[in-house]
Structure 1
Amino acid sequence: MIIKRSELRIEKFNLLGINVISFANDDSGTAKELTNNNFDLDFDIFLNKEDIDMFKIMIRLDNFDIKNTKQTGYGIDVSGEFKFRFNNAKGLDDDMQSVLISRSALPMAIGHIRSVIAITTGNFHLGPYYLPSIDLNDLFEKKANSLQVNVENEDI
């Protein structure tokens, strides 16, 4: 099948920071088996009012609570900035733009972060760590709830 190009493309990716700590209590196991999967992922989406074809996603992912567990594995903290462009935002309705942002752009950004983690941890003695699949519906629900809490706190 011939692929159809998306109405969305990544313009730029900036790795804003990465910190990886390897905790090794012994030489057994692999990163997949040993790393704490309790990652905290936060993201923000910024629309550009001057250029409606552009938007930005900021992501931060970390599991630094592992430092307190004393278990073998990785402590990982990574953040990135992704700039995206619609090929023609004026030709897309608001619903389609929203779908492209939530169901295409965010997964692309998470995929980039996933590869940064795998490549970086591949240099450690435990081997590469591959971030597990993420339930996007759950992520969106948690993000919406956190935004609601923030809005409620601003009224105080």
Structure 2
Amino acid sequence: MKITKSPLVQTDFFVLNCNYNFIEPTEESTNITETFSNYKIDFDFAHKLQDNGQIYIFVKVEINNIKNALPGYKMFIEGVSIFEINEAKIVAQKQKDDLINISGLSIAINNLRSYIDNITMYNPLGKYTLPVIDLGALYKEKNKKIKKNKSIN
């Protein structure tokens, strides 16, 4: 099947900050798959439109980054995915917004996921993969946070 290229073009991805720690399991019977699924994950994101038309999507994830962290991996990672939109292929503002908010954020998350896969794959417990994220729930939570911050100010 022939592909149609998206008007959204990723031009780069950078890791801006990373803090990674390995926490050795204390018991041999530790089920690491179960432990991974119990990690507390905190995620945040932001979009920024640059004057030159580039779109920056910043993503931040904290995995198991708590005081009494579970065995395995403890991580804090910030990254930015940089995009451009081929305006000639855009028909409506809603299409542009969807490209940024859905496709762009999904790509930015996958960039982060690949980075996490790579930094954990050579460790004693093997690769940790960031779970699939429900974008609808993520945006709902983000909107609640924005409204709460506006009501405080």
TM-score normalized by the length of structure 2? 0.89
Which residue number in structure 2 is paired with residue 83 of structure 1? 82
Which residue number in structure 1 is paired with residue 13 of structure 2? 13
The reply on whether 1:43 has 2:19 as its aligned counterpart is: no
In 2, distance between residues paired with 1:148 and 1:109? 24
Which residue number in structure 1 is paired with residue 117 of structure 2? 118
Offset at residue 100 of structure 1 (A): 0.4
Aligned-residue sequence identity (percent) comes to 30
RMSD: 1.9
The superposition leaves residues 92-129 of structure 1 with CA deviations (integer Å, 9 ceiling, x where unpaired) of 42101111011100000000100110110112111110
**Which amino acid in 2 is paired with 1:51?**
N
How many residues are aligned here? 151
In 2, distance between residues paired with 1:104 and 1:47? 16
Between stretches 56-65 and 7-16, larger displacement belongs to: 56-65
**Which amino acid in 1 is paired with 2:39?**
N
Give SS of 1:104's match. Answer: helix
Which residue number in structure 2 is paired with residue 139 of structure 1? 138
In 2, distance between residues paired with 1:152 and 1:100? 29
In structure 1, runs of 5+ residues without a counterpart are none
Conservation of the 8 A alpha-carbon contact between 1:30 and 1:127: no
The superposition leaves residues 9-61 of structure 1 with CA deviations (integer Å, 9 ceiling, x where unpaired) of 1111111122221212234456533224321000000112x333x21111100
Conservation of the 8 A alpha-carbon contact between 2:47 and 2:58: yes
In 1, distance between residues paired with 2:64 and 2:134? 21
In structure 2, runs of 5+ residues without a counterpart are none
Conservation of the 8 A alpha-carbon contact between 2:65 and 2:76: no
Conservation of the 8 A alpha-carbon contact between 1:58 and 1:80: yes
Give SS of 2:148's match. Answer: helix
Between stretches 107-116 and 55-64, larger displacement belongs to: 55-64
The superposition leaves residues 74-96 of structure 1 with CA deviations (integer Å, 9 ceiling, x where unpaired) of 11111101110001178442101
Which residue number in structure 1 is paired with residue 27 of structure 2? 26
In 1, distance between residues paired with 2:20 and 2:56? 25
